[in-house]
Structure 1
Amino acid sequence: MDRNDRMWQMISAVKSTVTDPAWTASYKELLRQPVNPCISDGARELLELLYSVQGKRMLTGQHEYLEAPNNYSGQIYDKTGKRPMLKGFEFGGISGQNEALLAEQRDKIVTAAKAWHDAGGIVTATYHQVYPGTALEWPNVKRKTTPDEFDQILTPGTVLHTAFLAAIDEVAVYLKQLRDYKVPVLWRPYHEMNGDWFWWGDKTNFNALWELMYQRYTRYHGLNNLLWVWSANANNEWTKPARDYYVGHNRADALGFDIYDNAYYYSNYDELLYLAEGKIISVTENGQLPDMTRTSLRQFKLSWFMTWGSYLTDKNTDAVIQTVYNHPFALNRGDSFTPVVVPPASAADGILGNYYFGQNFNTLKVTKVVPTVNFNWTSSTTINSWNMTVRWTGFVQGVHDEEYTFYVQSSDGVRLWIDNILIIDDWTVHGTLEVSGTAVLAAGKQHRIKLEYFNNQDTLANVKLSWESASTVKEVIPQTQLYSV
Structure 2
Amino acid sequence: MCALASRIAGTFAQSTTLKFEAENGVLSGTTVDSVQSGYSGSGYVTGFDTAGDKITFNVAIDATALYDIGIHYAGIYGEKKTTLVLNSGSSNEISLPATSTWATASGGQLLLTAGDNVLEIISNWGWYLVDYITLTPAEGRPPHQITTELVNDESGPTAYKLYNYLISLYGKKILSGQQDLKWANWINDTIGKTPALLSVDLMDYSPSRVERQGDISTAVEDAIAHHEKGGIVSVLWHWNAPIGLYDTSENPWWSGFYTRATDFDVAEALANPSSANYTLLLRDIDAIAIQLKRLEAAGVSVLFRPLHEAEGGWFWWGAEGPDAAKALWGLVFDRLGEYHGLSNLIWVWNSIAEDWYPGDDLVDIVSADVYAQGHGVMSTQYQQLLKLGNDTKLIAAAEVGSAPMPDMLQAYGADWLWFCVWGDSYINNDDWNSIEVLKEIYNSEYVLTLDEIQGWATS
1:103 paired with 2:220, answer no
Match of 2:329 among 197, 210, 223: 210
1:177 paired with 2:305, answer no
1:283 paired with 2:394, answer no
Match of 1:242 among 318, 343, 353: 353
Residue by residue over 1:189-247, the C-alpha shift from the partner in whole angstroms, topping out at 9 and shown as x without a partner, is 00111111111125131211100000000011111111000012xxxxxxxx6122111
Give, in whole Å, the separation in 2 of the partners of 1:257 and 1:149: 23
Letter aligned with residue 114 of structure 1: I
1:132 aligned partner: 242
Q: How many angstroms does 1:96 deviate by?
A: 9.0
CA contact under 8 A between 1:95 and 1:138: conserved in structure 2?
no
Equivalent position SS for 1:123: strand
2:8 aligned partner: none
Distance 1:92 1:148, change over 3 A: closer
Q: How many angstroms does 1:266 deviate by?
A: 2.3
Letter aligned with residue 225 of structure 1: N
Equivalent position SS for 2:304: strand
Distance 1:335 1:212, change over 3 A: same
Give, in whole Å, the separation in 1 of the partners of 2:300 and 2:241: 28
1:295 paired with 2:401, answer no
Residue by residue over 1:163-182, the C-alpha shift from the partner in whole angstroms, topping out at 9 and shown as x without a partner, is 11111211111110111111
Letter aligned with residue 219 of structure 1: E
Letter aligned with residue 337 of structure 2: T
Q: How many angstroms does 1:114 deviate by?
A: 1.3
Equivalent runs, 1:73-472 vs 2, <5 Å: 73-93=184-204, 98-99=210-211, 101-105=213-217, 108-134=218-244, 137-144=253-260, 149-201=266-318, 203-205=321-323, 206-232=325-351, 242-262=353-373, 264-276=377-389, 277-310=391-424, 311-314=426-429, 315-335=432-452
Distance 1:296 1:95, change over 3 A: farther
CA contact under 8 A between 1:58 and 1:300: conserved in structure 2?
no
1:72 aligned partner: 183
CA contact under 8 A between 2:241 and 2:264: conserved in structure 1?
no
CA contact under 8 A between 1:127 and 1:190: conserved in structure 2?
yes
Letter aligned with residue 347 of structure 2: W
Q: CA RMSD in A?
A: 2.6
Give, in whole Å, the separation in 2 of the partners of 1:138 and 1:268: 31
Structure 2 unaligned spans of 5+ = 1-141, 246-251, 455-459
Q: How many angstroms does 1:88 deviate by?
A: 0.4
Match of 1:49 among 129, 147, 165: 165
Give, in whole Å, the separation in 2 of the partners of 1:102 and 1:296: 46
1:35 aligned partner: 151
Q: How many angstroms does 1:54 deviate by?
A: 0.3
Give, in whole Å, the separation in 2 of the partners of 1:96 and 1:38: 29
The percentage of aligned residue pairs carrying the same residue is 31
Letter aligned with residue 327 of structure 2: A
Letter aligned with residue 323 of structure 1: E
The count of corresponding residues between Structure 1 and Structure 2 is 297
CA contact under 8 A between 2:259 and 2:313: conserved in structure 1?
no
Give, in whole Å, the separation in 2 of the partners of 1:134 and 1:329: 47
CA contact under 8 A between 2:208 and 2:241: conserved in structure 1?
no
CA contact under 8 A between 1:32 and 1:279: conserved in structure 2?
no
Equivalent position SS for 1:62: strand
Give, in whole Å, the separation in 1 of the partners of 2:264 and 2:253: 22
Distance 1:100 1:147, change over 3 A: closer
Equivalent position SS for 1:257: strand
Give, in whole Å, the separation in 2 of the partners of 1:294 and 1:199: 36
Residue by residue over 1:133-174, the C-alpha shift from the partner in whole angstroms, topping out at 9 and shown as x without a partner, is 245834321125789652324531112111111112111111
Give, in whole Å, the separation in 2 of the partners of 1:300 and 1:216: 34
Q: How many angstroms does 1:28 deviate by?
A: 4.2
CA contact under 8 A between 1:190 and 1:200: conserved in structure 2?
yes
Structure 1 unaligned spans of 5+ = 1-24, 65-69, 233-240, 338-485
Letter aligned with residue 281 of structure 1: I
Give, in whole Å, the separation in 1 of the partners of 2:220 and 2:453: 27
Give, in whole Å, the separation in 1 of the partners of 2:214 and 2:368: 28
Distance 1:244 1:146, change over 3 A: farther
The structure with the largest alpha-carbon Rg is 1
1:62 aligned partner: 178
CA contact under 8 A between 1:59 and 1:332: conserved in structure 2?
yes
Equivalent position SS for 1:312: coil
Distance 1:100 1:180, change over 3 A: farther
CA contact under 8 A between 1:133 and 1:164: conserved in structure 2?
no
Q: How many angstroms does 1:336 deviate by?
A: 5.3
Residue by residue over 1:438-470, the C-alpha shift from the partner in whole angstroms, topping out at 9 and shown as x without a partner, is xxxxxxxxxxxxxxxxxxxxxxxxxxxxxxxxx
Over 4 Å off, 4+ runs: 94-98, 144-149
1:431 aligned partner: none
CA contact under 8 A between 1:154 and 1:209: conserved in structure 2?
no
Distance 1:172 1:119, change over 3 A: same
Q: Normalising by the residue count of structure 2, what TM-score does the alignment of the two structures yield?
A: 0.60
1:462 aligned partner: none
Give, in whole Å, the separation in 1 of the partners of 2:148 and 2:208: 41
Residue by residue over 1:44-71, the C-alpha shift from the partner in whole angstroms, topping out at 9 and shown as x without a partner, is 010000000001100000011xxxxx31
Distance 1:222 1:88, change over 3 A: same
Give, in whole Å, the separation in 2 of the partners of 1:305 and 1:95: 30
